[in-house]
Every structure is written in C-alpha cells, then in structure tokens.
Amino acid sequence: MLRLPVLLALCCAAAAAPAQPLTGAQPDAGFGFAFTIPEGWVGAASAEGYVIGHQTVPGMVLVAPKHHGDLAALQRTFAESTDDGTSSLRAVAPPQTLADGSVRVEQRGTVEGAPVKVVAIAKLNPHGGNTANLMALAAADGFSPQLEQALLAVHRSVRYTAAPRTAGADGPPDAQWKQRLAGARLTYMDSYNSPAATEGGIGGGYSIHRRIDLCPEGHFKTDGSASHSFSGADVSAVSSGSSGGEGRWSAVRGANGNALLRLRFHDGRVAEYRLGWQEGKTYLNGERWYRTTLASDGPEYAPACP
C-alpha cells in the first residue's frame, strides 16, 4: 500500500501547487507513465506524484509511482497494513487480481482517529519501470460511487511509456564528476507550509531531508526523512517517515551527453540523477543539493564511509 508519508506529500502538493490546476491529458513527467484527469476533476503535481480532486465530490484520487519487481510483489504491497501511530489501515479482504491483470484492494481504518476508506488499484508496468499506483481516499461515510468512478477512469487512462534503456550501457565514466563526488555528502532540504487556498480545500506543510553519502571506494548510502501534515474537509493527519539504502555508485555520461549519477542498490534497483554544476553549486535533476566533504566541512558533514 502507499505509505502515509507519501500520501501526505501528495496531499500537501495541492496546497503548494500553482493557482492554475491540471486538467485533461498529463504527459509523462519522468515517472514512466502518462494518464488523463477525468472531465470535471482537477489535479496538482509534485515530485511525489499527483493529487486529484473535485469541487463537490468528497475525497481525492492519488497517483504515485512505485516500483514492483513482479505481480506477486504488487499483490504483497497492496496487502500490507499501515499502523504508524497516527494512521491505522487494513485490507478488508485479500487483494483481487482482475481479468486484465490489475490488482485492487479496499482498506479501512482511521487517520488521526477519523474513520476513512481507501480503494487502491494498479496494473504492473510491463516495461519493468515504475507502476502507477492509484488510491481513492475519503471519510468512511463520504466515500461515494463518483469517487471510485474517477479512480477507475484515471486507471484506465494510464499509458506506460517506452521501456527504460539498460542501465550502464549508454556511455563512458565521467572522470571530472567522479573526482568531484568521491568522498562527498550530498544533502537536499525542502520545506513548505500553506493554509488551504479555498474553503474546504487542502492545506498543510512538509519538511523533507535527503542525503547521499558517496564513498571514494565506490560505495554509497542514502538516508531520507519526511514529515507532513494536511487538513481538509474529510481527513487530517500528521505523520513522518524515513527511507534509506546502500549499494555502488558511478558517474557516467548519458546517451544525450548529460552527466549522470547512477546508484545501484543491493536489492537490484537503479536510480539516476542528472548532474549539473553552476557557480560552484551542485544540482541533481535540476534541484539544488549541498555538497560537503571531510576536508572542507569537518566530520559532522562528511559521508559515513567504512
């Protein structure tokens, strides 16, 4: 199941989004899929995914990318319960695998003590990339057929883009970036807080901290934490979460000539970041990351290497 911190990040995106809402066809924004927002519904986007709502239908539809190794992994994810102190959600029955290969599950529980209902559905990405995980969320007594119809409409519209290229087969190592990153800690920080833009709308805030430790020997370790809060007509919650991983890193030249930081996790995942350098500042996928080292910033800000 989508974990609550991801859900909250999507909800907070509505408060932080520009005034112009998203409508209609949405192209691939780097997640590996495109989809269409149903007529009469509007959306907001963030780096975590999308939140879609309606002026009169209670609840929301959430769209988020998540990688599943195979159909069994997707089924296991949808069967998972959530119990993190602020939310408690459990499947009312085992996930269903539909005729077209989609997996659907209904969960019920509470968020900050308020009864909620969640219906999630997804169809495994046939190319092996991120799968579009969709959720409809509303107060238990306000979950309507219109909300589930919107969820299914978005699900039917999902189109997965071309299979990703084979990692590691697109260019030589980048010696300059390898020298620049070896023995460095990369840190990204972001926060936002906003009230609801309209009566009954979604307001909230978030604080995100991500870190990548790049060891000279080629090992890396990632660590991230996020805390979110949101409130709206149906639900409100405060929560936090963390994530991390380890593996091997490299700096390479991509097929289009861009420098890439490639992280190969021990569990088989591969993550890539487009590297940029402007006025001595480091950018990953266009976002500012702070680069620190033992020599220039001391042990507190140095990478945790063996």
pLDDT in tens, 180-189: 999 999 998 8
Tell me how far apart the alpha carbons of residues 282 and 293 are, in angstroms, rounded to a whole number.
13
Q: What is the pLDDT of residue 36?
A: 95
Residue 247 Cα to chain centre, angstroms: 20
Residues 16 and 122 in one domain: yes
Domain for residue 91, yes or no? yes
Q: What is the pLDDT of residue 185?
A: 96
What is the domain extent for residue 253?
175-301
Structural domain includes residue 169: no
Render pLDDT for 71-107 as a digit per residue (tens, 0 to 9).
999 999 999 888 877 778 899 999 999 999 999 999 9
157-167: average pLDDT: 68
90 and 184, same domain (yes or no): no
pLDDT in tens, 35-64: 999 999 988 876 677 889 888 899 889 998
Both 142 and 36 in one domain: the answer is: yes
The answer to whether 138 and 144 have CB atoms below 8 angstroms apart is yes
> Residue 234 pLDDT > 90, yes or no?
no
Domain-located, residue 236: yes
Q: 268 pLDDT exceeds 70?
A: yes
Per-residue pLDDT for 298 more than 80?
yes
Per-position b or e across 180-218, b if 16+ CB within 10 A of its CB: bbbbbbbbbeeeeeeebeeeeebbbbbebebbbbbbeee
Domain count, the chain: 2
- Determine the pLDDT at residue 75: 93
Least confident of 11-15, 190-194, 284-288, 300-304: 11-15
Q: Say if residue 13 is in the same domain as residue 139.
A: yes
Position 165 in a domain: no
Of 235, 238, 146, 231, which is closest to residue 197 (Cα–Cα)?
Answer: 231
119 vs 256: which has the higher pLDDT: 119
Residues 47 and 110 in one domain: yes
Pair 183, 293 in one domain? yes
Judge if 147 and 241 occupy the same domain.
Answer: no
Which of the pair, 32 or 218, is modelled with greater confidence? 218
**Residue where a domain stops, chosen among 160, 191, 208:** 160
- Shared domain for 265 and 295, answered yes or no, is yes
Rounded CA-CA distance 239/8 in Å is 8
- Length in residues, the chain: 306
Q: Give yes or no: residues 47 and 192 share one domain.
A: no
User: What CATH number does residue 230 fall under?
Assistant: 2.40.128
Residue 167 lies in a domain: no
Does a structural domain hold residue 285?
yes
The answer on 136 and 209 residing in a single domain is no
Same domain, 47 and 154: yes
Question: What is the CATH classification number for the domain harbouring 44?
Answer: 3.40.1000.10
115 and 190: one domain? Answer: no
Question: Of the candidates 114, 132, 160, which is a domain's last residue?
Answer: 160
- Higher pLDDT, residue 237 or 139: 139
Does residue 12 register a pLDDT over 90?
no
- Flag whether pLDDT at 11 surpasses 80: no
**Domain final residue pick, 127, 160, 193:** 160
pLDDT at residue 10 greater than cutoff 50? no
Whether residue 306 lies inside any domain: the answer is: no
